[in-house]
Amino acid sequence: MTAHALLSASGSKRWLTCTPSARLEATLPEPKKNSDAFDFSQEGTTAHTLAEIKLRQHFQQIGTEEYETEYNAVKSTPYYNDDFEANVDNYVLYVRSQIGEGDTPLFEQRVDFSDWVPDGFGTADVVILSKHTIRVIDLKFGKGVPVSAIDNTQLRLYALGAYSKFKEEYPDIKEVSYTIHQPRLDSISTDGTTVNKLVDWANYFVKPKAKKAWSGSGEFIPGDHCQFCRAKAQCRARSDFNTELAKQEFKDPPLLDEEELANVLAKAQDLRTWVADVEEYALEKAVNENKLPTGFKLSTTVTHRKITDQLLAVEVLKEKGVPEEQLWESPKLKSIATLEKLRPKGQVVAWLGELVQRPEGAPKLVRVQETASEDFK
């Protein structure tokens, strides 16, 4: 098996809806990460590691020495702080509260659902086995928007894999449930179904869709599932959908009525998201590969001048005879533009010298100004 499943559980909403997307994504490189940017993915991985060792220690699955080694490793990461640990503890306490006497808890449990999805496997954060029920609990450490467990295909596939693995050992299992816990949003969402319904869903819905996805066949279908697709900025189906949407929403009549305005507003976010994805992709290509869209060039955003050492700047200006009370807009030092008004133009900046810096602007794409026609020169 590969390290990352082509038809992963985490991406299942996408490939179950847009079956050719998985094979298309596989032809594209991983997006490059800004080395200076905060790595939210790694932060989430670190939170999962801390949660796992805390749970394993509590249920005596690891010893004190192993726990302390892993714990100190987590504390040494740039993601750890008191708030980070408090949120992980919130999740850990919830998981512990869901494990009853006689239950068997499993942490970071590999699950295999390849009977329905080619090469289908994943890792469930928590699986709780009891006589009649399998519970799956998933930690999501992000603080964007709440994620619902209702009809969540990722957790359904995890539950399916857990049932497939343990059905002989636990022959009386009749139900599955799955929970998403987001401690930083104080959000807990749970859904569930019977084993019979879960298996029917897998046989009659998942399996035929997975067969198409594995072969790369089917129809490209854009939607909110495009959010994490590598092809989202280049996808022709998504482009066609959004450009056609714009044509329909903004053509005749001259004045829109209230119902039409509401419809435009409902669609506007989809259009903005698509445009933002295209802009981000084009900028990355321009910066990293020097590939510019026709008619565009690289520029930088405008930045404001900054004083690098405010206390030293105050001393310099006081020595030049500027009263200190004129320098402050409590509790901050006045802006450079305001300070310049205290003396003839250019004098304040000349006095401050290298204490005044203009930070480098962020790269951006701008349209090249078209050359004026000869008829209008």
pLDDT band at 202 (very low <50, low <70, confident <90, very high): very high
pLDDT for the residue numbered 115: 96
| Domain end call among 215, 245, 272 | 215
pLDDT for the residue numbered 91: 96
> Is residue 196 domain-resident?
yes
Are residues 171 and 273 located together in one domain of the fold? no
pLDDT for the residue numbered 1: 37
pLDDT for the residue numbered 248: 57
Query: What is the biggest distance separating any 2 CA atoms in the chain, rounded to whole angstroms?
Result: 88
> Is residue 356 domain-resident?
yes
> Is residue 377 domain-resident?
no
pLDDT band at 35 (very low <50, low <70, confident <90, very high): low
Are residues 57 and 103 located together in one domain of the fold? yes
pLDDT for the residue numbered 123: 94
Are residues 184 and 43 located together in one domain of the fold? yes
Res 34 pLDDT > 80: no
Mean pLDDT in residue range 15-31? 89
Are residues 81 and 195 located together in one domain of the fold? yes
Are residues 139 and 277 located together in one domain of the fold? no
pLDDT for the residue numbered 255: 64
How many structural domains does the chain have?
Answer: 3
Among the residue ranges 194-208, 230-244, 247-261, the one predicted with the least confidence is 247-261
pLDDT digits (tens, 9 = 90+) for 141-160: 988 888 999 999 999 999 99
Are residues 84 and 155 located together in one domain of the fold? yes
Res 165 pLDDT > 80: yes
pLDDT for the residue numbered 345: 84
pLDDT for the residue numbered 373: 36
Are residues 322 and 176 located together in one domain of the fold? no
pLDDT digits (tens, 9 = 90+) for 166-179: 999 999 999 999 99
| Residue 278 or residue 133, greater confidence | 133
> Is residue 220 domain-resident?
no
Are residues 195 and 315 located together in one domain of the fold? no
pLDDT digits (tens, 9 = 90+) for 297-337: 887 887 888 888 888 988 988 998 988 888 888 778 888 88
| Residue 24 or residue 237, greater confidence | 24
| Domain end call among 289, 320, 337 | 289
pLDDT band at 253 (very low <50, low <70, confident <90, very high): low
Mean pLDDT in residue range 58-62? 94
> Is residue 312 domain-resident?
yes
pLDDT for the residue numbered 196: 96
> Is residue 185 domain-resident?
yes
Mean pLDDT in residue range 51-59? 96
Are residues 189 and 49 located together in one domain of the fold? yes
Are residues 269 and 311 located together in one domain of the fold? no
Mean pLDDT in residue range 110-122? 95
Are residues 312 and 199 located together in one domain of the fold? no
Domain residues for the domain of 323 are: 306-364
Are residues 51 and 122 located together in one domain of the fold? yes
User: In terms of DSSP bridges, do strands 356-357 and 306-307 run parallel, antiparallel, or are they unpaired?
Assistant: antiparallel
pLDDT for the residue numbered 39: 81
pLDDT band at 180 (very low <50, low <70, confident <90, very high): very high
Q: What's the 3-state SS for the chain?
A: CCCCCCCCCCCHHHHHHCCCHHHHHHCCCCCCCCCCCCCHHHHHHHHHHHHHHHHHHHCCCCCHHHHHHHHHHHHCCCCCCHHHHHHHHHHHHHHHHCCCCCCEEEEEEEEECCCCCCCCEEEEEEEEECCCEEEEEEECCCCCCCCCCCCCHHHHHHHHHHHHHHCCCCCCCCEEEEEEEEHHHCEEEEEEEEHHHHHHHHHHHHHHHHHHHHHCCCCCCCCHHHHHCCCCCCCHHHHHHHHHHHHHHHCCCCCCCHHHHHHHHHHHHHHHHHHHHHHHHHHHHHHHHCCCCCCEEEEECCCCCEECCHHHHHHHHHHCCCCHHHCEECCEECCHHHHHCCCCCCHHHHHHHHHEECCCCCEEEEECCCCCCHHHC
Res 375 pLDDT > 50: no
pLDDT for the residue numbered 53: 96
pTM of this prediction exceeds 0.75? no
> Is residue 5 domain-resident?
no
pLDDT for the residue numbered 2: 40
Mean pLDDT in residue range 18-41? 78
Among the residue ranges 79-83, 207-211, 341-345, the one predicted with the least confidence is 341-345
Among the residue ranges 41-50, 192-201, 311-320, 326-335, the one predicted with the least confidence is 326-335
pLDDT for the residue numbered 198: 97
pLDDT band at 267 (very low <50, low <70, confident <90, very high): confident
> Is residue 296 domain-resident?
no
Distance of CA 152 to the CA centre of its chain: 17
pLDDT for the residue numbered 38: 61
Domain with 186 in it: what CATH number?
A: 3.90.320
